[in-house]
Structure formats: C-alpha cells, structure tokens
Structure 1
Amino acid sequence: MQEIRDAILAGEFDALAGLAVPDHYRGVTVHEDEVEMFAGIPTREKDPRKSLHLDEVATPELAPGEALVAVMASAINYNTVWTSIFEPLPTFGFLKRYGKLSALTKRHDLPYHVVGSDMSGVVLRTGPGVERWKPGDQVVAHCLSVELEAPDGHDDTMMDPEQRIWGFETNFGGLAELALVKANQLMPKPAHLTWEEAACPGLVNSTAYRQLVSHNGAGMKQGDIVLIWGASGGLGSYATQFALNGGAIPVCVVSSPDKAELCRKMGAELIIDRAAEGYRFWKDEHTQDPSEWRRFGAKIRELTGGEDPDIVFEHPGRETFGASVFVARRGGTIVTCASTSGYQHQYDNRYLWMNLKRIVGSHFANYRESWEANRLIAKGRIHPTLSKVYPLEQTGQAAYDVHTNSHQGKVGVLALAPQEGLGVTDPEFREQHIDAINRFRNT
C-alpha cells in the first residue's frame, strides 16, 4: 500500500498500472459474531466506537465490469451508523442474500462487513469489459450497485429489483484503503477539491438532488417554497443549496443558533430554530399535538408572507411527519427519503386526501442523477459541507459524532491520504470558491 500511496501523492498516476495490488488492506468492519452486542440497550446509547473495527482484510477478486480503487478519503453517512449499531437489522442479512445471486456475488458474503458508502480515490485496476475508466483516473463513487438483468431498472436504475447501496448492502465499501466498485459507480473527482472534500458529497448530494430536483422526486421549480428539516445537516445542507441554486425559497428548520448561522452563510433567509421555538409535536409517545402543527404552520406563513410550502423535504420521519403533512400547501408534495427518528409514521390523512397532497418516496439516486449532482459540485454551483475530518483509525468516533448529532454537515475520514488538504489539481478555480468550500469547517 505504501508504494501505491507514494505514487498517488507524487502525482505519478500512470505508474499505478505497473504496481502490484496487495493481497490485504485495512478496512473498517463490523463483525457478524457481534450483532447482539447492543441487545437491550436503547438506540441512543449504542456506541459505534465499540462495534467498528479497523482490520486487515483480504483484497477481493476483481470481476468483469468492476474496478478496484485506492481510497484516499471517505465520509460517514447515517447508513454506516445503522450498520454499526445493527439497526434496524444487521447488514449480514443483506450480504447473505446478495451472495446467493451468483458465484461472483458470493464474495460479499463474509463474517465481516467492510462498510462505507462514500469515497474519493484513484483507480488501480479495472476488470474485463471496462472501457471508460483506466488505472490512474481520479474518481469519486456513486454508491448505487445494480445488476440490470431485469427490465425494471432500464428506465430508472433505482427500480432494478437487485438495486443495493454499496458499502451498506454490499461488502468492500469506502471506509478502507481499497474499495471494490462497479465501473458504473465511478464519476470524475472535482479538480478543485481536496480528497476529503470530494469524498463527502456523494451519497447525500445525490440523494438530495433526486429527492428535490429530479422528476423522480419533487421536481422543484423556481419560486417553490421548500421546507427543509435539518437544513444544516448532512442531507439538508445540500437540499438548502439546491433550493437556492434552483431559484426556490428554502425555509430552513434547525435546532440551534449555530446551525441557523450556517444556513444564513449558505444564503438562506427564512429560518426556524425549532429548539428556540419549543415545538413539541408529540404530547407523549403515542399522541401527537395538532395544535403544535398549527403553531408551526403559522410560523412558516409569518416568514413567507402567508404562503405554505410547495415541497416539504422530509427525512426525520416519525417525529416530524405529521407536521410535514399538515403544513404542506394544498396540492403540495411531502418527499421523504429516511426516518432517522423512527419508521412508523403517523399523520392525519384528512389533510392529505382532502387537500390533494402527495407523499413521494425517494431513495438515493440513479447514475444519471448522481452524475448531474456531481457535475454541479465540479462547476462550483454546489459545495461540500465538510465540517470535520478523522483518520481511518478513528472512524468509530466519526460515526459516534453522527449518531449523537454532535456534528454539522458531513464528517470525513482520511484513508490513504496522510493529511488534509491534498488532491487539488485546479487551485485557481478553488480560490474562487474557497469561502463556500470552508463554510462548514471548524463548526
């Protein structure tokens, strides 16, 4: 690995094809024999620092249509938190089902799971049939793994019945020194970003693009009022940028003055600090409080000059969903991609059917949507929201930060990159956007 690292740091990308690929590498894993380690412990008390390990793992065989990438940096997503606390199910069930497809997918069914759904790095090897990419290419990952043998996915690859999220429902993910991906997961690394900056947008940027911008999601248009929960977080910070970049009007919901200030730095003007306002959408564990929905809706109208949201960008789930359905305008759209506060949603259906509202489910993004989202990053229209970076050895702490919501934006992880600040090949363009790139740092 040291020869590979040295060649990349020296910019000798053409030399990588001639270097040997090691038979082992370091990867962050969870272990199948530990899936019960948190049994009986409340979700919030489960500690990723205890379940995430840095192990030496065997380099997988390279199959047709695949690429082996030297990972310079990665990032933490909530799916890594779920994996680390074995909720809602241990991911080994995903790996076992995938392993039954073919002799090649059997490689993924192991008693350890190398996790991580983001990465930036350099292609080391490509398998038979790969023409677009070659050793030495600087890339970032689109984390959708598809088989595309069924017709279902050929209009929208997210509809492939064998669609999986790489590093969550497959093995050999990006929180490691090497990563195994399919060639149709690769995209060009934005030249003006460092390795760690380039690694952090992938999953959340693409998810926000499909959820908010794409015709497969809410189909946002200019002038739309968009209510964004967690607007300074890993997902919401990209939704806020897409709203602003696309001529919409974001109403940013945050939970502290610091997070409100980050939204203002992104250019948002309409902000609700839900902690300061004291919203309590549930009276108790079983009963929601419609009077709080009305109070929340009144606050939105106060900010917008009397208008309700055209789109509600939902991802907290159980805690907020009833309020989201209530406050959306007549004919509006509630688009949801996650349920970080709980999967069992409750809402008053009268406000949905009688006001002709729509609930749209949105999950990650197809290759085209991810490519477009990455293109906007490369053009400096959307910026990474990296706030903090850990070394690979401290991935457990990085995941703990996300699990406890003690972070802003995205938390990055260095893999082969020995320090922050490396990998920029267009410093002039970077200088034009440096303030926006650093917006979330040291927060």
Structure 2
Amino acid sequence: MTLLTEAVRAGAPPQELERAPLPGEYTAAYIQAEDARMFDGVADKDIRKSLRVGQVPMPELAPDEVLVAVMASAVNYNTVWSAMFEPVSTFRFLRQFATQGGWARRHDLPYHVIGSDGAGVIVRVGSGVRRWGIGDHVVMSCVQPDDQEPATQADGMLGAEQRIWGFETNFGGLAHYAVVRASQLIPKPAHLSWEEAACNPLCAGTAYRMLVGDRGARFKQGDVVLIWGAAGGLGAYAVQLVKNGGGIPVGVVSSPAKAEAARRLGCDVVIDRQDIGLDDRTADDPRAVIEVGKRLGTAIRKRVGEDPHIVFEHVGRATFAVSVFVVRRGGTVVTCGSSTGYQHGYDNRYLWMKLKRIIGSHAANLQEQWECNRLVSLGRIVPTLSAVYPLEEIGEAARSVQTNQHIGKVGVLCLASGPGQGVTDPERRADLGEERLNPLRGLTPTRQAG
C-alpha cells in the first residue's frame, strides 16, 4: 500500500494528502485491445473472461482535471458493453478521442480502465481548477462535456464532442484512482457511505433528465408512468422520481423478488412481464406486439383507470413497439438506451395517428446532476444498492448485470476497506434510518429475464 493510499484511508487532512507522493501505478479494472475479437462467433460472451484487474500507469493531469482516490464505484450496463466489445470496441472511442491531440492523446492506450460511476476523495488538482480542492469528498458525473463547443453552452449534452467518462474515455472509476474533469464533480451526500453515494450519479441523473428535466418527458403530478425494468439500475430511480413527484409509477419486472423491490421503492402497480406474455420473440411478430400491448393496457387500466401518460423506455428492441402502442393518445415515450437491441420496429400508425411523441435522452448535464444530487442529499432519493463486491471480483459483479441476475445497482469497493465507510453526517443518517436508505439490500432475483 502506498503512502497516499494509506493517508486517504486514514482520512488524512488535505496538507498530508498533498505531501504524500503519487504512486507510479495503481490498481484498476481494465480491458485489453488485444482481446477485442475474443468473443467473435461466441454465443455466451462471458465478460468474466475479458475483465482484468491489475496495475496500470498513473496518468498525468491536464489543467482542468482532478485525480480522485476512488473509494467505491458501481457497475453500469456500459461496463458490460465495454467488456463485450459491443456494439463497437471502446478502443475505437479512445482512438477517436486521441485525434483531438494535446491531452486527449493520453487516452489512446492498449488498455482501457473502465467505469462511469464513483465516489472518493480529491488528492490532486490541475492548475486550472478553481472550485475544488484536495481533500474534498465528491461523486462524479459520467459526462465529460466539451466547453469549447457552442452547443455545450445551451446544454452540456448537445456538444458533438461530449463523452461518457470511463466508456468513451480512459481512466474510469472502477479503479483505485480516476482522472476526471472538474466539470464532472458533485459534492458527496454526507449521510451516505462511499458505496451508497457511488451508485447514484449515472442512473439517477439519467432518470432525472428523462422524466423531470425540461428536455425530457416533463413529468407532472398525477401522471401515470410505465417503467420497464422497474427494479433495475435506471428503473429503480425512475420509480422514486415519479412517486416523489406525485405521479403513479407502474413497474414491469421479471421475477417475484424484483416485484418486491419495485414495491419497496414505491411502485403503485407492479406487473410481471410473463403475465402479459412478453418474451424475446414478441418484437419479431407485429400481431404479438399488439396482443401484449392490449394485455398490458388492460392491466394498467384495471389498476389505475387510465392509460400511461409516459413510458420510461431503456430496454429497447424487446419492448419499444409495445411502449409506442400502450402509451395514451398524445403521450410520450422517452428512451435512453437499448440493452436488448438497437434496431427498433413499431407500428407507426399508433404514433402519428394518436399524436404520440418519442424523445431521445442521454445521461444528464451538470445542472441536472446537481439538482438530482440535491434530492439524494435531502433523502428524497435513496440508493438502490442490492449487492457490493470488492474490485477484485469485478468480473462476477459485471456478470450479474450482464445476465440480469441483479436488482437495482451493484456496487464495487475500490479503496474503501469495507462497506459502510465515508459517512460524515451520522445524525442525518440516523434521522433518515438505515431501512429507508437501503430498501434493496440483500434482495436477489429468482428468475432470469430474457
């Protein structure tokens, strides 16, 4: 263990952190460019075979960057995509980034340190960083905007050179140290542990923009919101945002344990996808889409009396056509991803003749992230952790997400020596209560979904 790592773990003051020398190497979860074709022609792309944990060189900081000692991180679906080298190898992203020249060239390496969530302690700051200092406790937004693009000044997500840290850039959060821009930093909620704080930014911020932000579905009180994967990483935050905002969350899940998770989070209605006959083949048959949509619509109307105003869509090909069918006349389907496939087919009559809308959404700008983090700090949004792994077991942690054998978010301990560390406001934590802050801990799914 290096002097800096020891100082971070001991909670040393900023002066001591600054004096401790930077290690030349650090431990990280990474993939290798030489493995990029390893899953060609393989049916089960088991990412435990591509994810590695070992020592990598410490990068140099750009003037607008900070070095964070990562206490905890979390698995996202882009972790799975990275380790599968699909839909494209992330080494392509790194090469493209490097063409900017300058500091971007550092990212084009034969290894890629992945991970797009994290919580930790700032241990170094670049010469151009003004608002943050060594010793600050932070969580990291996954978005690296390009502040020199005009569109970025309107919305950080609109710049063509905006990138997702740890997916489209190197030096990500599944490591002992991470390099991030100062424009990614958010104050860590003081009542949360490292792993609880680390699991929120990417998924909670994404759900906030999709539902609450003025560029998303613009959810309002009383809206019925259909949430696919209501017990997953994104869905679990969508349920809370809808419930807290006076809406009616209707969740679709794939197992009894996930149904219990959705109810704990506040779902008014929970529907098992098997009860409506939805499976991996539904999207291939237009008639099956209509039949599944009718059964789903009937189930929703039976419980809440009306069709959904909004469908929270991130599953993609397997559900998208049903989403377009089932949302009410004039309603909105808001989508941020496609974990079951990117090529969506749907019957356009139900879109154009019923004046529905489809909105694409991606991550969240920094203002949206801060607004969402305020809800977390107030205890209005709670972490969705169900399991926590050490960094050395990142393969197993990510595999659970790859095979949908997880609930909520899967946390990863990096420099934290154990769970439960990092709380600096124990009084607020006690006021909120452990049960409130950990509604999903210990829950495991009992049936794999397609």
- Name the TM tier (shorter chain): over 0.9
**Cα-to-partner distance string for 1:50-71 (whole Å, 9 max, x where unaligned):** 0011121111111111000101
How far is the alpha carbon of 1:276 from its aligned partner? 3.7
How far is the alpha carbon of 1:177 from its aligned partner? 0.6
How far is the alpha carbon of 1:5 from its aligned partner? 3.1
In structure 1, C-alpha distance between the alignment counterparts of 2:329 and 2:201, rounded to whole Å: 33
SS, match of residue 158 in structure 1: coil
- Asked if the contact 2:249–2:266 (Cα under 8 Å) also holds between the matched residues in 1, the reply is no
- Asked if the contact 1:255–1:273 (Cα under 8 Å) also holds between the matched residues in 2, the reply is yes
Runs of 4+ residues over 6 Å off in structure 1: none
**Identity of counterpart residues, as a percentage?**
55
**Cα-to-partner distance string for 1:333-367 (whole Å, 9 max, x where unaligned):** 00000001110101100000011000000000101
**Cα-to-partner distance string for 1:284-324 (whole Å, 9 max, x where unaligned):** 7455511221121111111111x111100001111111110
- 2:353 aligned with 1:354: yes
> Which residue of 1 is the match for residue 21 of structure 2?
20
> Which residue of 2 is the match for residue 308 of structure 1?
307
In structure 2, C-alpha distance between the alignment counterparts of 1:80 and 1:267, rounded to whole Å: 28
- Asked if the contact 1:74–1:412 (Cα under 8 Å) also holds between the matched residues in 2, the reply is yes
- Asked if the contact 2:139–2:201 (Cα under 8 Å) also holds between the matched residues in 1, the reply is yes
Structure 2 CA distance for partners of 1:269 and 1:389, relative to 1, 3 Å:
same
How far is the alpha carbon of 1:146 from its aligned partner? 1.6
Gaps of 5+ in 1: none
- Asked if the contact 2:74–2:411 (Cα under 8 Å) also holds between the matched residues in 1, the reply is yes
> Which residue of 2 is the match for residue 68 of structure 1?
67
In structure 2, C-alpha distance between the alignment counterparts of 1:285 and 1:356, rounded to whole Å: 24
SS, match of residue 198 in structure 1: helix
> Which residue of 2 is the match for residue 439 of structure 1?
439
In structure 1, C-alpha distance between the alignment counterparts of 2:67 and 2:52, rounded to whole Å: 22
Q: Which moved more, 1:237-246 or 1:278-287?
A: 278-287
AA of the residue aligned to 1:56 = Q
> Which residue of 1 is the match for residue 4 of structure 2?
4
**Cα-to-partner distance string for 1:94-134 (whole Å, 9 max, x where unaligned):** 00000010221000000100000001000011101111101
- Asked if the contact 1:73–1:121 (Cα under 8 Å) also holds between the matched residues in 2, the reply is yes
> Which residue of 2 is the match for residue 137 of structure 1?
136
> Which residue of 2 is the match for residue 193 of structure 1?
192
SS, match of residue 235 in structure 1: helix
- 2:220 aligned with 1:221: yes
SS, match of residue 410 in structure 2: strand
AA of the residue aligned to 2:291 = S
In structure 2, C-alpha distance between the alignment counterparts of 1:92 and 1:288, rounded to whole Å: 40
Q: Which moved more, 1:296-305 or 1:220-229?
A: 296-305
In structure 1, C-alpha distance between the alignment counterparts of 2:208 and 2:20, rounded to whole Å: 38
How far is the alpha carbon of 1:8 from its aligned partner? 2.7
How far is the alpha carbon of 1:377 from its aligned partner? 0.7
In structure 2, C-alpha distance between the alignment counterparts of 1:141 and 1:99, rounded to whole Å: 22
- Asked if the contact 2:277–2:292 (Cα under 8 Å) also holds between the matched residues in 1, the reply is no
SS, match of residue 237 in structure 1: helix
> Which residue of 1 is the match for residue 296 of structure 2?
296
- Asked if the contact 1:281–1:323 (Cα under 8 Å) also holds between the matched residues in 2, the reply is no
How far is the alpha carbon of 1:277 from its aligned partner? 4.0
How far is the alpha carbon of 1:275 from its aligned partner? 2.1
SS, match of residue 175 in structure 2: coil
In structure 2, C-alpha distance between the alignment counterparts of 1:283 and 1:138, rounded to whole Å: 47
In structure 2, C-alpha distance between the alignment counterparts of 1:89 and 1:173, rounded to whole Å: 18
How many pairs does the alignment contain?
A: 440
- Asked if the contact 1:148–1:162 (Cα under 8 Å) also holds between the matched residues in 2, the reply is no
How far is the alpha carbon of 1:204 from its aligned partner? 0.4
How far is the alpha carbon of 1:281 from its aligned partner? 7.7
**Cα-to-partner distance string for 1:219-249 (whole Å, 9 max, x where unaligned):** 1111111000000111000000000111111
How far is the alpha carbon of 1:273 from its aligned partner? 1.2
How far is the alpha carbon of 1:390 from its aligned partner? 0.7
AA of the residue aligned to 1:183 = A
In structure 1, C-alpha distance between the alignment counterparts of 2:9 and 2:60, rounded to whole Å: 26
In structure 2, C-alpha distance between the alignment counterparts of 1:288 and 1:164, rounded to whole Å: 39
TM-score (norm 1): 0.97
| Superposed CA RMSD | 1.3
- 2:336 aligned with 1:330: no
How far is the alpha carbon of 1:283 from its aligned partner? 5.0
How far is the alpha carbon of 1:202 from its aligned partner? 1.1
- 2:111 aligned with 1:103: no
TM-score (norm 2): 0.96
